[in-house]
Amino acid sequence: MSFLNELNPVQQEAVKAANGPVMIIAGAGSGKTRVLTYRIAHLIQCGVPPYQILALTFTNKAAHEMKSRIVKLVGEKASQLWMGTFHSIFARLLRREAEALEYTKSFTIYDSDDSYSVVKKTMERLGISAQQYNPNAIRSRISASKNQLIYPQEYARLARDVFDEKTALVYEEYQKTLRRNNAMDFDDLLIKPIELFQNHDDILKKYQHRFKFLLVDEFQDTNRAQYEVSKMLAGAHRNVCVVGDDAQSIYSFRGADIRNILDFSKDYPDCQTFRLEQNYRSSKNILGAADQLIRFNNDRLPKDLWTENESGDPISLVECTDDKDEGYQIVQAIQEESHRNKFDLKDYVVLYRTNAQSRTIEDTLRRNSIPYVIVGGVKFYERKEIKDVLAYMRIIANASDEEGILRVLNYPSRGIGDTTVERLRTFALERGIKLYDVLGFVEKINDIADRTRKSVRQFHTLVEKYRSLQKEMSFTELIRSLVDELGILKIFKEEGTPESMSRWENVQELLSAISEFSDEREEATLESFLEEVALVSDIDDWEGTRNAVTLMTLHSSKGLEFPVVFIAGLEEGLLPFYSNSLERSDLEEERRLLYVGITRAQKKLYLTYTRLRYRFGEVSYPSISRFMAEIGKENIVHVVNELHRKVSVGGGNGSRQRNHEAGRKHKIQEPGNGADPMPDYESESQDAFEIHRGVIVVHESFGRGKVIQVTGAGDARKATVQFEGYGVKHLILRFAKLRLA
């Protein structure tokens, strides 16, 4: 057990507490992954068969890294572990038990685009206007309902308004369509196991007996469905270990429920709790700022973070004139840091609240010939030419996949128009048969031209050919043969444009990925490859090996670390982000999001804000984020605008220097010199004191409204306002900038 000597005393205790419920509260940078890894290795060393251990993570990347570490610690027997994301593990389980749910094991996993397409077609069929009711909004509500284990009938019963009523109609038909297509969406991968276990006690007992030890990583990010299925699996032996940090719960928009970790000890009163409080990642200044910030949250578990690392550089709070100037400031700091501390470009990350913020930063990096990568752009498997080939693969695996058929029925072009497609779909729906079966007897359908019938028949024959060839060829050979027969590579080459050549390269890369997948797995199948592709995430794709500055959202950064971190847009409305009112729970999550961003930094942290920002095509004059006052002044250097800032434009020998007029002379206020390094909030307007029930007010975003209630006092004074066209909003007067009409 020599590897336990690599752990500190608290980590050792957490690793060795094998039996019964265990909760490990792991502060940022406290070695959470190591503890989880070593705990599994310790269980195996103590004689627990690896196949009796189930470890659930939130990214494939984390699962692969942990599993490889465990193999190094205890040998190849660790490969028998069931370790992966909730979605991948339960997709695997559902394929084994598909018949019990009246599915086939070759069911398709629909991504968000597929789900949107089904929702939109369902709305058309039900006569619900996509202009009046946003299909994406309906899809989001369906997803949120599933995460909360609210099924169509219950949703209809709970409907509060017309939008809910329309959503309920779509929800019910949406689920029927998925079932008819032998398909599940991402949310189904979490709720179908619950249905399975509830309706088949024998299957539940089988997996309870199989998995005597359950470990859940990033427990603060679990939703109700994930919590319930974990609870069901751990029901027999109660050897459940959850690892997480309430201060890093930032995914409520995906259905994550912070109550799961806050109330774990209520559900398991006999649980052992361990707090990992020593931070190994960040300097004292960075950790102190993060700790000070998060203490403003009410919904939190107590912990006192500390580190033996050096104090390090003060945090730089940088004022910028506008978002363009923000890009210049960031680039200049990268250039100066690289010169001073010899950091590589891959040591820098720029974090932001919304993807739209990246544009001006990208522009400046490009002008200065600084390479960069963006996490969260168009993923490889979401490119059109790739999705087209994948659609053929999906149909070969699952002929019931209507969305896949509709995508490629006329790709490459066969002369099958939208009118024909609609006739085929209508024919199938009216008779309650599958679209694919209709393609097989297209001759029986009236009002379709002979030439078009022939094209439909050719498509059906092509798919049938490759469905039958599955038994004779490896799936690698199968797909190579399919791509050749489709002739798409030839089409791309003949077009000869840069775009078509890029598509050619992408399809070739897909074929390479298939070959690699086959080489790495003994039992590689078409279904297993499609499953892996469907469940890949942005972070899974990101390697972090290229020597380039990384750009990503704060949400994407969780679990990562960088020597130098920039967090852009520390302004009211951006961070904390709000488009409507900001409830306490929302504000606390925004605070946790900033906490996550700060704790990604090892050596140096820059926080930037602007006095003027272009958003949605309009100029705004934001106030500095309230979080800056909460962080405190002790460890911050405030850098105010420079009058002359030289930033190279272009690059190489031909680069030229450009003076950027920023408005005020450069000024640095050091901590402890008697100056106030923190900008004050803008004073509350006189109007705010005159706001009371019944008065008419104007808000810069919501326009005119009537105050229906005023509560609280001082900084906590809040107004409830009925706005014309925006409904009721709850606003903190200190920040709302209301004025009397």
User: Which residues are part of the catalytic machinery?
Assistant: 32-33, 217-218, 248, 600
* d(C-alpha 730, C-alpha 713), whole Å: 15
Asked if 554 contacts 548 with a C-beta cutoff of 8 angstroms, the reply is no
* d(C-alpha 348, C-alpha 199), whole Å: 51
Q: CA nearest 531: which of 105, 41, 197? A: 105
Helical spans, DSSP H, in 602-721: 627-631, 686-690
Asked if 248 contacts 275 with a C-beta cutoff of 8 angstroms, the reply is no
CB burial of 598-610 (b: ≥16 within 10 Å; e: otherwise) equals bbbbbbbbbbbbb
Asked if 632 contacts 292 with a C-beta cutoff of 8 angstroms, the reply is yes
Which residues on adjacent β-strands are paired with residue 644? 661
Q: What letter would DSSP give residue 281? A: S
Burial group, residue 182, by CB count within 10 angstroms (0-12, 13-18, 19+)? buried
Q: CA nearest 218: which of 39, 56, 40, 52? A: 56
* d(C-alpha 156, C-alpha 141), whole Å: 12
Q: Is the preceding omega at residue 576 within 30 degrees of 0, hence cis?
A: yes
157 to 153, 154, 294: CA distances (angstroms): 6, 5, 39
3-state secondary structure of 157: helix
Tokens of 152: 């169509």
Per-position DSSP letters for 390-427, written without gaps between them: HHHHHHHH-TT-HHHHHHHTTSS--S--HHHHHHHHHH
